[in-house]
Structures are given as C-alpha cells and as structure tokens.
C-alpha cells in the first residue's frame, strides 16, 4: 500500500472516474509545444483546473514553477458547503505544489488588483455601466504583470487553466480558438489577449472536458479533484456586490427617479448602482406592463425603463479594442465592412453582425436586433467562416436602439 500524500492525509481523494492519463499528458505536451525540460510557469489559482495544468506539465517532463497571486483578502472568502477541506485558495495551491514536488511562489498583488480591477468595477457601476471584472483581471494583473514575472523566472512559456485553444495559423502566427468543451469555453473572457501575449501563453486544457480534468486530479491523488468551481466574482464571494460598491463608492447611494422612456416619472430609487441594463425585478413600479431597465443616467440619477422591445440593439461602438484577425488591424477590417459573429455576453451565443467604421469609431452593426447589450460589457468577435476562431473584441462604449 502506497504512502498517502500530505494532501490525502488532510483530505481523502474523492471517488471520481480516473482519466486516461497518457492521453491527457500527450494533449498537454502538444498544447505547450516545447521540448521536455523547458521551464514553464503554471499560474495556480488553487482550483482544480490550474492545479491539473501544473500536474500535467510536470508529468510531461517540463520544469514547472507554480505561481499564485494573492489578489484580495482570502480570509474573507466563504467556505463552500459540502466541499471537503474547503479552505483558502492560496493554501490549496501551495499544498498541491508540495504534493507535486514543484517550486511555488505567492505574489502579493492586492494593491495592483484593487487599482486595476476592484476600483474600476466600482467606478463602472457608479457611471451606469456593467463591468466584467474577470476580463479586467486577465487583461492586467494576469496577462500583463504575471507574464513579466514568468519571463523574469526564465520561463519559455506560461500556462493557465483557461478552457481555450491556442493554434498556429498558416501565416505562422498564434490564434485563439474555442476549447473542445464549448460549455466551458472562456474565449469571451480572453478577447483582450494580445498577439504578443498569445505567443507566450499556453492552454493545456483545450482538448479536455471538465469530468476528464477532475479525473486527472483524482488519478494523481490531488485532494482538489472534487473542489467546487467558483460561481461568484472572486472578491465578492457572497455575491453581494452592491454592499461592496456602497462601501467603496458611497456617492452611488443617492436617491433619484425611475422614469419611463416616454418621460413619465414612475417612482423613486435609492441609488443607480442597484440597477443594470435589462433588469426587470426590483423596480417597484407597476404600470400594467412588464418594464425593464433600458438606460441609466448617472448625471441626472435617472433609471430609465421601458418595454422589452426597447432593449433590442441595432449597433454598438467599441473602446479598448484588441485584434487577432488576419487584417492588419480592426480598423482596417471595419473599413472593409468585415462580417463577424458578435458575442455580447458570456451566456449568449454569438450573433451575425458586421464591423463598420464611422468617424474613426469602430462599430458593430447587427443583422437583427440583439438583446442584453450594456455599456461596459465586452463584445467578443468570432470568424463567421470559422466560428471557433476568436478575432478579438472590445468593451461596449455606446449602443443604438433598434426602435
């Protein structure tokens, strides 16, 4: 009988179907595409995905260095009910690295994370926009700052547990594509990954589905095999983001009016940070028809509401764009009226659209009205001729209603 690892001694490995380890290792090796012995930094969050990435790369013969970012007060995170040994993510990452026998570093990025992600998150709600903090995190502290650390450590690549695929196009440049498990695909959240970053990044889980990933963890005796996936914004573990915003930006808690788009004042509210575009519940107004939040006016402190059809968007403009397509730039593609598939929320399928360029402003015009479009959210763009390929995207600046 083999000796138990430190991780197993603390928390027994759950009974999960074991994966085909040889196939998983081969898949990871193909995703990295570097000779055995090459140094690869594994970004370890403490979850099952990133831990399995580190484990597969270690078994594939790479010189793996685990790095974990301390981004917020982990002591405030809530334990998940029913999760064996649920504890702090940093502790889980450190324990996994010890079990695997790889070096592991924890970097204190709390101040950077607050400046680049948390403060922008609060400011966005104050300005009537709907932020996507996971994209900001990937765009800044993870795929900008952490990549610099990986290079400083002498790594030839950095690997993460994201469910996306990196391939090399016919022109020799890397492309980002959806993972084989479309239900787990995270390309929407990675639209801002630049070509230079993509050249350095690797995604070893591209060909695996979640049950296989958990099976690999179980096969390796890692106690995180059954650790629940995070369902909330990491720095708002109880889902109560309004309390956080009230604490950081109390000026958002200023009363105002709920106004119908036809000009009628229907009621009052206690602060626009309580509302997002498309919201129906919690309006506390009754006019005999379903009403939805169609626009927020932070200057007048107005929450504008209207019928569902008023949510349909004909076009949107983009800020902070990133381009991974074949055209020299997104502006060039827009000048040519390039067709795209536009995805305005991670939970919605992409819709047929066309890039346009009006007064040097990059816009996306939909073939039919698109619902659920909110300033501040991301719009990821895919290739209609190759729908798995991510072309880039941007943050939604303004919208034009269909009616």
Catalytic residue numbers read 137, 234
The closest alpha carbon to 393, from 319, 322, 337, 333, belongs to 322
3-class secondary structure, 18: coil
Q: Would you say how long the chain is, in residues?
A: 403
Instruction: In whole angstroms, give the CA distance from residue 131 to residue 128.
Output: 10
CA angle 136, 139, 141 (to 5 degrees): 90
Cβ-Cβ contacts under 8 Å for 288 (sequence gap 6 or more): none
Instruction: In whole angstroms, give the CA distance from residue 296 to residue 301.
Output: 8
Cβ-Cβ contacts under 8 Å for 250 (sequence gap 6 or more): none
What is the residue whose two structure tokens read 């914004």? 233
What 8-state DSSP symbol labels residue 225? G
Direct distance between the N- and C-terminal alpha carbons of the chain, in angstroms, rounded to an integer: 71
CA angle 387, 382, 335 (to 5 degrees): 130
The secondary structure of 353-364, three-state, reads: EEEEEECCEEEE
Instruction: In whole angstroms, give the CA distance from residue 128 to residue 275.
Output: 8
3-class secondary structure, 38: coil
């Amino acid at each position: 009988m083999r000796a138990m690892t430190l991780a197993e001694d603390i928390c027994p490995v759950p009974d999960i179907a074991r994966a085909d380890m040889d196939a998983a290792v081969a898949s990871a090796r193909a995703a990295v595409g570097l000779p055995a012995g090459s140094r690869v930094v594994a970004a370890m969050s403490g979850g099952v995905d990133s831990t399995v990435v580190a484990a597969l790369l270690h078994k594939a013969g790479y010189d793996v260095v685990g790095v974990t970012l301390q981004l917020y007060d982990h002591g405030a995170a809530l334990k998940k009910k029913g999760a064996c040994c649920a504890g702090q993510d940093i502790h889980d990452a450190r324990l996994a690295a010890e079990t695997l026998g790889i070096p592991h570093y924890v970097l204190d990025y709390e101040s950077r994370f607050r400046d680049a992600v948390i403060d922008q998150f609060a400011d966005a709600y104050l300005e009537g926009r709907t932020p996507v903090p996971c994209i900001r995190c990937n765009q800044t502290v993870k795929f900008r700052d952490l990549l610099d650390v990986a290079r400083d450590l002498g790594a030839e690549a950095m690997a993460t547990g994201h469910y996306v695929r990196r391939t090399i196009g016919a022109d020799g440049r890397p492309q980002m594509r959806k993972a084989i498990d479309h239900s787990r695909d995270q390309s929407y959240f990675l639209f801002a990954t630049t070509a230079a970053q993509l050249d350095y990044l690797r995604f070893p889980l591209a060909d695996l589905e979640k049950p296989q990933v958990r099976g690999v963890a179980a096969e390796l005796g890692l106690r995180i095999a059954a650790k629940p996936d995070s369902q909330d914004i990491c720095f708002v573990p109880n889902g109560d983001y309004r309390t956080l915003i009230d604490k950081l930006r109390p000026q958002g808690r200023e009363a105002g009016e709920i106004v119908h788009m036809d000009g009628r004042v229907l009621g009052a509210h206690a602060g626009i940070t309580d509302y997002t575009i498309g919201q129906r519940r919690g309006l506390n107004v009754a006019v005999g028809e379903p009403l939805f939040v169609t626009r927020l006016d932070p200057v007048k402190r107005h929450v504008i509401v209207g019928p569902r059809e008023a949510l349909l968007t004909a076009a949107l403009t983009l800020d902070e764009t990133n381009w991974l397509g074949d055209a020299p730039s997104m502006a060039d593609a827009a000048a040519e009226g390039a067709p795209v598939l536009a995805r305005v929320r991670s939970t919605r399928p992409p819709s047929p659209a066309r890039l346009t360029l009006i007064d040097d402003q990059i816009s996306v015009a939909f073939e039919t009205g698109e619902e659920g479009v909110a300033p501040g959210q991301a719009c990821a763009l895919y290739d209609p001729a190759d729908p798995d390929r991510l072309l880039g995207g941007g943050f939604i600046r303004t919208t034009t209603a269909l009616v």
